[in-house]
Amino acid sequence: MPRARRKPSKPPVPPARVPSGMVPTPHAATKGDYEVLQVEKNGPKVAVNKTSSPLHTLWRHGHISQGLAEAGEVFEAVYRLVWGGFKRDVLDQVIRGESVETANLVDRIIRCKTMLRVIEAHLTRAQYLILLSVCVDQLYIGANTAANRESYENIKIALARCSQVFGVPEYQGDTGKPS
């Protein structure tokens, strides 16, 4: 009597490895703060950069406080709203006329533009340019050396002014370093 055919066995599942392209280079690993997360059980692992912006790097190294970092994020959002324009969602189905949301958005843009003018009026040109380069253009200042000390002072002054204008609170006992 012939033997019954066996079902082909599934190949063994390889151990979870980080897919190529998801691993930071050795140089990036020394410069950033990466956390390896597993997407799903027995699935791939992904390295996530916790210092994804210059503001987070400044905060992590203790150069600015958490409140100033949040003020920088608010500045970026307001700047992008005003100068980046607003985009309609593809799924919006407004056919005729103007919706209430559009009118509210226009009012919000006008208020934000006024806040940006107040900030620009109270800062020097160097302070405003460093604020734009760090918050909007996402450019890093560089090492805290004698050559960059003025940039570090300018970004602190500019973020403090943003904090006042946007009403971002300072946190109690905030030393600037994450716990």
Contact residues for 42 (Cβ-Cβ < 8 A; gap 6+): 13, 16
Q: In this structure, are residues 38 and 16 in contact, taking their beta carbons and an 8 Å threshold?
A: yes
Domain count within the chain: 2
- Domain contains 5: no
3-class DSSP state for residue 35?
strand
| Whether this model's pTM surpasses 0.85 | no
pLDDT of residue 100: 57
In degrees, rounded to 5, the angle at the alpha carbon of residue 118 between the alpha carbons of residues 114 and 121 is 135
Same domain, 44 and 76: no
Residue pLDDT, tens place only, 74-112 = 998 888 888 874 454 444 444 455 555 666 777 888 888
- Domain contains 171: no
24 burial level (CB within 10 Å; 0-12, 13-18, 19+): middle
Same domain, 19 and 36: yes
Q: What amino acid occupies position 27?
A: H
Report, as an integer, the average pLDDT of 65-79.
Answer: 90
Report, as an integer, the average pLDDT of 143-155.
Answer: 85
- Domain contains 179: no
Angle between helices 66-83 and 100-122 (to 10 degrees): 120
pLDDT of residue 128: 94
Same domain, 59 and 116: yes
Same domain, 59 and 82: yes
Same domain, 100 and 142: yes
Residue pLDDT, tens place only, 33-56 = 677 777 777 777 777 766 678 888
Same domain, 80 and 92: yes
Same domain, 158 and 70: yes
Same domain, 62 and 130: yes
Q: In this structure, are residues 36 and 99 in contact, taking their beta carbons and an 8 Å threshold?
A: no
Same domain, 36 and 65: no
- Domain contains 6: no
Measured between alpha carbons, how far is residue 5 from residues 1, 2, 9, 10, 12 in Å?
12, 9, 12, 15, 20
Owning domain of residue 33: 13-50
Q: Which of 45-54, 62-71, 124-133, 161-170 has the lowest mean pLDDT?
A: 45-54
| Separation between Cα atoms, residue 136 and residue 77, nearest integer Å | 9
- Domain contains 3: no
| Separation between Cα atoms, residue 10 and residue 12, nearest integer Å | 6
In degrees, rounded to 5, the angle at the alpha carbon of residue 114 between the alpha carbons of residues 157 and 52 is 50
pLDDT of residue 169: 84
